[in-house]
Structure 1
């Protein structure tokens, strides 16, 4: 093939449309995100109905996170063996059952158990989704395809959380889980029926073997720092707005919307990633996220300024998550499922560690210390990403 023919082939590939199947994956991310973010706003209603308190109710959220981490790490390797689509369909069916169980839970222990089931399902679903997104992406449009799928998190933050709170007010908290269960079942049907290539099945790889793939370990370190920073700061913004700035609890809704809009707006710029190269960009993106945290520390005394900074924080975080997934899924296609399982496991362990660790910092100091600590973690992430590139 001549150079001219190669150029024509590349240009045609880059002009290929993102397959409609990507939109089904976006909805899948949206329903998982809606469950993971919904309990916080509706926790007071759940506590009253189940005759308990809010901290006890949030044990269900902890069960979800730990279940997600455990299944992602130890079962993610099955994606390589049985194929990401089959595993995603199975996980969505289990997710539907767990959400239905949450909707009818007669006592707190049943809600916790149901959310553990939801977490186990999500731990398989998320790496399956990211694996499928990387497989179905047209050549030259990998970042755009993954970015589109990631906007499911925007749907859950901008629409899912406020709608869940409204449904809980007017129809009760159980209806929230019932509606998300129906949406999950519909997404399962779309995934089952939509035509899409998913790559050949291989053999299951142990988590330790996947960890041995060159580049995986430093990128997982970067993932841990990135996610601990995000969850550690995001968990205490609402408390800062209420206690330090004297704003009502509802003020946190605009913060979530601003972050979600920034996260979603970045999808329109994802094509730049394919142009400049994921490996070269990732350390620089993490430095940009560190700068966003620094700006958040400076803006922490003003609600309006925080809303502006949070928008750009969401923008930068979208690029960071997108490029990190691109890098991880490209390291070893034959072990892609196991690698993405490790990624999801690290993500949810970092949620647990970040929320706990940053909570201790917040209790001892003030909110300003949190984005500064997060900025430090992002510099660690940038160094790890640079090492992975080598």
Structure 2
């Protein structure tokens, strides 16, 4: 009888194990994040090579963001029709083509066009990844699985950004995109041959029809506030460190690493989310993020204090993003693709709005006002998350 019980117990542990495909999805996030973060550090070299100034070179990044937002909203729904695994593999192939085009771009318009194509592919890939993460997660380990996948952003921030700068120094900026393109092809092959149990495919839902699903609107409103706060503050930390604290530009790399390490370290605590419940925790987590922003405003005059607060910022934001994705993917499993497409679209529109809006505040009142404004947005996110039905 003891042997039988031990056998049943071992089978339960086996079923509860996070599947290997989750690590493949982590790598997919890593390559997408590496592209989205790569242009900033190498923009001066790109500008010199193409005969333009750095702000003009950064229009390629804007094209990527707009392409991602539009694609996620209007094409993410195809995930429900054709399956997340198939759409992810196709999107990664297009992503690799766009990255190859970026590496070979002879002039800025070609680079902008290539990055627009990369954005269109990313707008399909990201919701497909989040949909697959929710699909393959073992019962009771949903937050751990999604948290593992989200650490791909840590890989891109902690390893991808410094590596991109190093490759650009030694082999030129074109090699950066060539290396990311090769990594994307490897990820595409891994997705193609991974054993993914697809959910039953349905019809491609209108991107706005899912707004009628209970909980979608308040959670997307919370997402907009959450992401606008993040991008609005993160976009101006580097300039604050250089202009106000007199630090070299390289100091921003350590800030990015501190945030990424905090974001990644939170993955070891994700099991607590499954224990206490995502719907109960989301308003509390957003309130904690607001508290971090208030601390950041107080610490803005000290580089050492900022590094510590930024680590906590990454930790809290990981929990916020994890639980937000869990809540959204659980609302209507048959239409996860369309819902996550809207989520990605809102995220990248919030990037645009947060960067522009917070730029006005930064110019008028300095950096310390930005975390205060972000804390106000997070209170809006708390209220919106509390409105969503459990």
Query: What is aligned with 2:151?
Result: 151
Answer yes or no: is the 8 Å Cα contact 2:361–2:369 preserved in 1. Answer: yes
Asked if the contact 2:87/2:125 (under 8 Å) is kept, the reply is yes
Partner residue, 2:43: 43
Q: Which one is further off, 374-383 or 199-208? A: 199-208
Q: Supply the distance in 2 between the matched residues of 1:13 and 1:315 (Cα, whole angstroms).
A: 28
CA contact (8 A) 1:13 1:140 kept: no
Report the Cα distance in structure 2 between the residues aligned to 1:287 and 1:278, rounded to whole angstroms. 14
Aligned partners of 1:13 and 1:138 also within 8 Å: no
| Matched ranges for 1:102-117 at <5 A | 102-117=102-117
1:363 deviates by 0.7
SS of aligned partner of 2:388: helix
The question of whether the paired residues in 2 share the 8 Å contact of 1:293 and 1:375 is answered with: yes
The answer as to 2:356 corresponding to 1:379 is no
Q: Distance in 2 between matches of 1:235 and 1:15?
A: 42
Deviation at 1:200, TM superposition (A): 1.2
Question: Can you list the C-alpha shifts for 1:218-261, whole angstroms capped at 9, x where unaligned?
Answer: 00000000000000000000000000000000000000000000
Q: Give the Cα–Cα distance (whole angstroms) in 1 for the partners of residues 208 and 186 of structure 2.
A: 35
- Conserved? CA contact 2:17–2:138, under 8 Å: yes
3-state SS of paired residue (1:389): coil
Q: Indicate conservation of the 8 Å contact 1:297/1:369, yes or no.
A: yes
Q: Is the 8 A contact 1:296 1:306 kept in 2?
A: yes
1:345 match: 345
State the TM-score, normalized to the length of structure 1: 0.97
User: Hey, what's the Cα distance between the residues in 2 that align with 1:335 and 1:267?
Assistant: 27
The whole-number CA distance in structure 1 between the counterparts of 2:115 and 2:366 is 32
Q: Distance in 2 between matches of 1:343 and 1:84?
A: 16
Question: What is the CA deviation profile of residues 166-200 of structure 1, one whole-angstrom value per residue up to 9, with x for unaligned ones?
Answer: 10011000000000000000000000011121211
What CA distance in whole angstroms lies between the structure 1 residues aligned with 2:243 and 2:313? Answer: 22
Once the 2 structures are TM-superposed, how far is the Cα of residue 389 of structure 1 from its aligned partner? 3.1
1:211 Cα deviation after fit: 1.0
Q: d(CA) in 2 for partners of 1:242 and 1:348?
A: 26
- The runs of at least 4 consecutive aligned structure 1 residues that moved more than 2 Å come to 11-15
1:16 is displaced (CA, Å) by 1.2
- Whole-angstrom distance in 2 between the partners of 1:256 and 1:201: 39
CA distance in 2, matches of 1:34, 1:181: 10
Residue 249 of structure 2: aligned partner: 249
Instruction: State the alpha-carbon separation in 1 of the partners of residues 369 and 231 from structure 2.
Output: 14
- 1:171-186 counterparts in 2 under 5 A? 171-186=171-186
Paired residues of 1:14 and 1:140 also in contact (CA < 8 A): no
**Residue 336 to residue 14, structure 1, CA distance change in 2 (3 Å):** farther
Q: How does 1:1-390 map to 2 (within 5 A)?
A: 12=12, 16-389=16-389
What is the rounded CA distance, in whole Å, between the counterparts of 2:145 and 2:118 in structure 1?
Answer: 26
Residues 362, 370 of structure 2: 8 Å contact kept: yes
- Given that 2:72 and 2:127 are in contact with CA atoms closer than 8 Å, whether structure 1 keeps it comes out as yes
Q: How many residues align?
A: 383
The SS at the match of 2:245 is coil
What does the per-residue CA deviation read over 1:318-376, in whole Å, with 9 as the maximum and x for residues that have no partner? Answer: 00000000000000001100000000000000000000000011011100010000000
- Give the root-mean-square deviation of aligned CA atoms: 1.3
With over 3 angstroms needed to count, the CA separation of the structure-2 counterparts of 1:13 and 1:379, relative to structure 1, is farther
TM-score, L = length of structure 2: 0.97
Cα deviation 1:277-318 (Å, max 9, x = unaligned): 000000000000000000000000000000000000000000
Answer yes or no: is the 8 Å Cα contact 2:85–2:196 preserved in 1: no
Deviation at 1:12, TM superposition (A): 3.0
Cα offset, 1:22, TM superposition: 0.4
Q: CA separation of 1:274/1:340 partners in 2, compared to 1, >3 Å: closer, same or farther?
A: same
2: distance between equivalents of 1:218 and 1:285?
16
Does the 8 Å CA contact 2:214/2:389 hold for their aligned counterparts? no
Is contact 1:14–1:139 with CA below 8 Å preserved after alignment? no
* Distance across 2 between alignment mates of 1:121 and 1:257: 27
Give 1:14 shift.
9.2
2:248 match: secondary structure: coil
SS at 2:102 equivalent? helix
Give the gaps of 5 or more residues in structure 2.
Answer: none
